[in-house]
């Protein structure tokens, strides 16, 4: 499933629509180069979860996970700087991955071996200065159904 957004606002709108359909325990992995729009999309997802101050959502330098309260909690991982899975084990990632919240992971490819089997990968590609190609790659029935609702 592929779509194209022509501005950051459109990417946020798409994230918001997706966020509105998310349930506790959902796992979303974001893949794409620096500046492809992973954090922008995460802001949209947060809006869809009724999280208030989405302006605070960024790519933190030295924090692996940040937590936000909304309709459902959002656990926003950014593992750009992660050198080994050990650091994730140290912060008890399983408590987040198998929890009552929604998990969004920027740079998810780095941890594909420990991702729960069922998840949604969203790949963002820079099409041009203001446009992004967004690919939805579901694993498992839950996510196949989810993307049908969103598109």
- The residues of the shown chain that bind Mg ion, judged by CB under 5 A, are 38-39, 59, 106
CB of 61 to Mg ion, least distance (A): 11
Q: Tell me whether residue 15 or residue 70 sits nearer to ligand ADP (CB atom).
A: 15
- Give the CB-nearest residue to ligand ADP: 37
Q: Return d(Cα 74, Cα 116) in angstroms, integer.
A: 17
Closest CA relative to residue 17, chosen from 122, 125, 111, 99? 122
Q: Tell me whether residue 106 or residue 123 sits nearer to Mg ion (CB atom).
A: 106
- Would you tell me which residues interact with ligand ADP (CB under 6 A)? 5-8, 10-11, 32, 34-40, 59, 106, 130-132
Residues 6 or more apart whose CB falls under 8 angstroms from that of 16 comprise 44, 45, 47, 48
CB of 72 to ligand ADP, least distance (A): 22
CB of 134 to Mg ion, least distance (A): 15
Q: Tell me whether residue 131 or residue 147 sits nearer to ligand ADP (CB atom).
A: 131
Q: Return d(Cα 103, Cα 97) in angstroms, integer.
A: 7
Q: Return d(Cα 32, Cα 126) in angstroms, integer.
A: 8
The option from ligand ADP, Mg ion, none interacting with 5 (CB < 5 to 8 A, set by class) reads ligand ADP
CB of 131 to ligand ADP, least distance (A): 5
Transcribe 77-109 into DSSP letters: EE-TT---HHHHHHTTHHHHHTSSSEEEEETGG
């Amino acid at each position: 499933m592929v779509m194209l957004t022509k501005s950051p606002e459109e990417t946020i709108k798409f994230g918001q629509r997706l966020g509105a359909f998310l349930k506790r325990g959902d796992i979303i992995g974001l893949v794409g180069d620096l500046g492809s729009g992973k954090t922008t999309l995460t802001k949209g997802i947060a809006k869809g979860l009724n999280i208030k101050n989405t302006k605070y959502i960024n790519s933190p330098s030295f924090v692996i996970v940040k937590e936000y309260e909304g309709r459902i909690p959002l656990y926003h991982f950014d593992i750009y700087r992660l050198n080994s899975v050990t650091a994730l084990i140290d912060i008890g990632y399983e408590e987040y991955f198998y929890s009552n919240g929604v998990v969004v992971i920027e740079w998810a490819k780095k941890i594909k071996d420990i991702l729960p089997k069922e998840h949604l990968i969203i790949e963002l590609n820079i099409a041009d200065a203001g446009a992004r190609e967004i690919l939805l790659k579901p694993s498992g029935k839950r996510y196949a159904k989810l993307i049908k609702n969103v598109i």
